[in-house]
Amino acid sequence: MRLRIEPGGRLAGAVRVPGDKSIAHRWLLLAATGSGRSTLLEVPGSLDVRSTGACLAAITAEARPALHAWALNDAGYREGHRSTWNVRVEGEDDRPLSTPLEVEGEGRRALTEPSGPLACGNSGTSMRLLMGLLATTGFRTVLTGDPSLSRRPMERVAEPLRAMGASIASTDGHAPITIEGRPLRGTDVTPSVPSAQIKSAVLLAGLDAEGITTVRESVRTRDHTERALEALGAPIERSDGSIAVRRFQHEGFSATVPGDPSSAAFLVAAAALTGSEITIVEVGLNPSRTHFLEVMARMGVETEIDIRHEEMGEPVGDILVRPASGVHAVRVEADELPLVIDEVPVLAALAAHAPADSWFLSAGELQVKESDRLHGIGEGIRAIGGHAAVEGKDLVLAGGGLEGGLVDARGDHRMAMAFAVSGLGARGAVEVEGMESADVSFPGFSRTLAALGASIRVAAGR
């Protein structure tokens, strides 16, 4: 689908975003391996999370019917209910409803050998977390992915698990991944790259390993796994730069998945580029996920956060975006880049409109995302009349604004949304080819922007 975004206009209103993908993956894994019933609300219907649900359905018995039905037919799962996102929130009576996803868990020991390979689709989180979960089972599992996922590095996860005694074979460092489940022993792990996925895979394995499993981080990464385990009563210890866990079997639980802050980032940028005021409600405000707001503040974007409650240790509340009078250039240092790795595309979209150079230093990790975002961002910005370059592993945006034009999202959900948002501040219309890829994380993204007041329509083309 090709989407045409007209510049200008004003956005207004309050809106929800889909549930947090990172949290949903983890809570689904914990629900399927819990002892007893778990009830989850606002589980996002994004393609990546459905991949996790489908994989879990294949290795569980009691949880299989609910997970299988939800993963394959999200529309049916929500039948008779208003959409959980993509709506204006006018008052308390208009708050969206969500059908509970009820998962019957029988504990980790009840996992069963799948009848065939587990297809993770495009979801690196699904594959990497499942590697940790499945490493301690007594059966063989093969994890596969689509062509994009099959190019992403997996040895960085396999190596620390092997240090615990796991039998994991990759295909030249990539998927397919073959796991021969066996008993593991706790060990002390320092991931080769800062990664919440690696950390979570090791911690999930450590929950069923002998002794203590410790993960040491050189750079702080998102901590959703640790928060959830603490909320469930797991014997987890956290100190500066390290997380340790022992064997533990948790019970079932009930929780509501908060809105995804990474999805909210695109709406914050959209408001900033149009000088608008909007409110994004019921968003996850975990400090390990909101560093992009600090970067945006340096760019002249004023926001206020209001924490209202907690879910499984996760702070949840609203983000109010104040009207911005312009966008400033920014320099994102190497040590803070891991804290905004998913938001770099939208931060770059903002930076393209600044009056001076913006730098994103040591951004090589962008090359092993759903696409090569490092070069894709630069090429995309140039395609719509901006100035950008890659210098070594640094991404440089020269600023000066965008003229408009046609850009290909390369099948990458975050680049599709970033280029769409960038068009709101361009001098001419921007057309984004491949806008349907936004459904990976934000189904109905274009409808959400339109509901807030952006001028968006499907353009002629493929």
Please report the DSSP string for 80-93 in residue order.
TS--SSSSB--SGG
- Structure confidence by residue, pLDDT tens digits, 268-288: 999 999 999 999 999 999 999
* CB-facing half-sphere around the CA of 285: CA atoms within 13 A: 19
d(CA 30, CA 310): 18
d(CA 233, CA 245): 11
d(CA 226, CA 238): 8
Looking at residue 390, the DSSP 8-state letter turns out to be E
Least confident of 41-45, 230-234, 354-358: 41-45
User: How distant, in Å, are the alpha carbons of 28, 43, 255, 311 from that of 228?
Assistant: 11, 15, 10, 9
Predicted confidence band at 459 (pLDDT cuts at 50, 70, 90)? confident
Chain CA centroid to CA 95, Å: 24
Fold of 2-18+258-458: UDP-n-acetylglucosamine1-carboxyvinyl-transferase; Chain (3.65.10)
Res. 75: pLDDT tops 90: no
- Mean pLDDT to the nearest integer, 453-462: 82
- Mean pLDDT to the nearest integer, 297-320: 97
- Structure confidence by residue, pLDDT tens digits, 383-406: 999 999 999 999 999 999 999 999
Classify 171 as helix, strand or coil. Answer: strand
- Type of residue at 194: P
Chain CA centroid to CA 15, Å: 19
Burial of 223 (0-12, 13-18, 19+ CB in 10 A): buried
Predicted confidence band at 157 (pLDDT cuts at 50, 70, 90)? very high
- Mean pLDDT to the nearest integer, 336-340: 91
What class is the 21-255 domain?
Answer: alpha beta
Predicted confidence band at 98 (pLDDT cuts at 50, 70, 90)? low
Res. 89: pLDDT tops 50: no
Burial of 39 (0-12, 13-18, 19+ CB in 10 A): middle
Catalytic residue among 20, 208, 223, 342: 342
Q: Which residue, 366, 358, 364, is CA-closest to 396? A: 358
Here the tokens at position 323 are 């009207």
- On the question of a common fold for 2-18+258-458 and 21-255, the answer reads yes
pTM equals 0.89
Please say if 439 is a catalytic residue. no
The pLDDT assigned to 439 comes to: 85
Cβ-contact 347, 359 below 8 angstroms: no
Q: Domains of the chain: which residue ranges?
A: 2-18+258-458, 21-255
Burial of 1 (0-12, 13-18, 19+ CB in 10 A): middle
